[in-house]
Chains A and B, each alone.
Chain A
Amino acid sequence: MCLGIACEVVQVEDRDACLLRVGNGVQRCFTGLVEPLARGDWVLMHAGFAVQRISPAEARANLELVHRAALLQEEARAPSRSPGTPPGAGGQDDP
């Protein structure tokens, strides 16, 4: 039930609803819980509603972090990370 898929907005119907491209089809989605959307935006859809807008820049940064995490073998051995260095898999989120 936590299945979510990244979908592109193909048409904005009103403040609470958009048509999203899902596979080869289009599906109506409740979008009232995220900021106003425009055609071409991407959202994470779960159970008929948009949980989050996905920014392409954030997605790019995420993928770059994962690539770096995979490549920087030596970093895993370091006792602490230097300022500005991304954590092993993403942004650190200390309490």
Chain B
Amino acid sequence: MSDERRREPPGELRGDAYRDPGLVAALAGRVRAAASELGRPLKLMHICGTHEHALGRYALRDLLPPELSLLAGPGCPVCVCDSALIDAAVRLALRPGVVVASFGDMLAVPGSLPLRGEGKGDVRMSLESARAQGGEVRAVTSVFEAGRLAAETPESEVVFFSVGFETTVVATAALLRRDPPPNLSILEANYYTPPATAMLPSLPGFDVDGLLLPGHATAVTGTGVYDGLPALGISCAVAGFEPADILAAVSAVLRQLLEGRPRIDNAYPRVVSRQGNPRALAELAEVFEATPRRWRGIADIDASGFDLRPAYRQRSARARFPDAFTAEGASAREHPAGCRCAEVTLGQVTPDACALFGGRCTPDNPYGPCMVSHEGTCRAWQQYGMARGRIAVRTA
């Protein structure tokens, strides 16, 4: 212990400072001690797909005591994207003169339109299958790249399929305020996490003791948007994405449970503040307004999405191509038959409870959205072999 105290924190701006084995082991020890003192089964939930991947990549669940479950919640925007919006993107991609640009994760997500001639099963159209049928689809890494694409192809209408949480919508707002090419429009599919998080405790059987809040989304919004959660008796901590960040946040939540005083601890203060990013929030409020949005397979949640305000509505793909936004041909089922992504997204089951997981549904041949996206829980479980269960690890 004295050696640890003498050691200077190395390279505070480097991620590996938060992967230090001694530090991680010490934090894991603290988590085990707090869980032991609480002396009952504990359930925590994170609401960020990047957290799930960090848990898998660093095998962090193996460091937690068996009485502590850390579940994955609705933290993947691609996974919750309304299938009707994917269908609209597919129709637009198949329209001559239109190019649909989106993040690579979005391209293989099936919507609800059936894919003709695909043999047995409930196989549906994605943007990739639209491309296979001659549609113009481009993977981009940012809305700014979509703007450059529009500038380079003035003869085309470029539609940016703007899927994402509050982290990505602020970038879209920023670009629209800076006069992008006139042939760029936005398919509004941005989701807002706090209303969905606030809805979780109202779900039947919800018995989660505490939440890990998403570090980078909260960097934009600030922690204040989650103020209602402690009042509902939920202990919260904002978590970063390195092993020590996550274990420190888990430790903070357990500490609140020990004290019997729910609050919001900020375990990622190098990036997250109470006020968030005021400049980004101001530009967001100028360009977008809150709207009810469908979370795929879950619910219509009030004020959980963003639509363009009237002053920017000429940039909306829905305004430019209204006939692409129709329910015609869509399946009555939001997810493909047998897919349990909705339950996985809410943390009600783990991916290995789905009969399709790892067999019919794999990252190479995904069937449901949670296996497509790099943020998806099923993808993380398959990629990191988390269905193997917990392996007891001795750290001391």
Contact = CB atoms under 8 A, between A and B. Distances in A.
Contact of B9 (A16, A33, A67, A69): A67
Given A33-B280, A54-B271, A1 B49 contact: yes
B12 A2 contact: no
B146 to A, nearest CB: 10
A85 to B, nearest CB: 12
A65 interface: yes
12 contacts: A1-B167, A4-B271, A32-B279, A52-B277, A59-B12, A60-B12, A63-B270, A70-B248, A71-B5, A76-B30, A76-B34, A95-B230
A88 B251 contact: yes
Contacts of B17: 63
Nearest to B273: A52
B280 A90 contact: no
Contacts of B34: 76
Interface in A1-59: 1-4, 6, 16, 30, 32-35, 42, 44, 46-49, 51-52, 54-56, 58-59
B237 A89 contact: yes
Given A32-B178, A44-B219, A67-B23, A1 B144 contact: no
Interface residues of A, number: 49
Interface of B: 1, 4-5, 7, 9, 12-15, 17-18, 23, 26-27, 29-30, 33-34, 37, 48-50, 75-78, 103, 105, 141-145, 163-165, 167-168, 170-171, 174-175, 178, 214-217, 219-220, 223-224, 227, 230-231, 237-238, 241, 244-245, 248-249, 251-252, 254-255, 258-259, 263-271, 274, 277, 279-280, 283, 373, 375
A95 B263 contact: yes
Contact of A91 (B143, B171, B266, B280): B266
Given A30-B174, A51-B216, 14 more contacts: A1-B375, A46-B216, A47-B143, A59-B12, A61-B269, A63-B270, A69-B30, A70-B27, A73-B30, A76-B251, A76-B258, A77-B37, A87-B252, A89-B237
B238 to A, nearest CB: 8
Nearest to B230: A95
Contacts of A90: 237-238, 248, 252, 265-269
Given A89-B251, A90-B252, A62 B277 contact: no
A30 to B, nearest CB: 6
A92 interface: yes
A93 B26 contact: no
Nearest to B268: A90
Given A32-B178, A47-B168, A80-B259, A4 B216 contact: yes
Contacts, number: 210
Interface of A: 1-4, 6, 16, 30, 32-35, 42, 44, 46-49, 51-52, 54-56, 58-67, 69-71, 73, 76-77, 79-80, 87-95
Contacts of B178: 16, 32
Contacts of A16: 178
B220 to A, nearest CB: 6
* Most central of A4, A32, A76, A80 by chain B CB within 10 Å: A76
A62 B143 CA distance: 31
Contact of A51 (B141, B145, B280, B283): B280
* Most central of A3, A16, A55 by chain B CB within 10 Å: A3
A42 B267 CA distance: 19
Contacts of B224: 95
Given A2-B217, A76-B251, A48 B145 contact: yes
B171 A44 contact: no
* Most central of B12, B34, B178, B220 by chain A CB within 10 Å: B12
Contacts of B249: 89
Given A1-B78, A1-B105, A32-B174, A71 B269 contact: no
B251 A91 contact: no
A34 B12 contact: no
Contact of B27 (A6, A30, A69): A69
A68 to B, nearest CB: 9
A61 to B, nearest CB: 7
* Most central of B171, B174, B178, B268 by chain A CB within 10 Å: B171
Contact of B271 (A30, A52, A64): A52
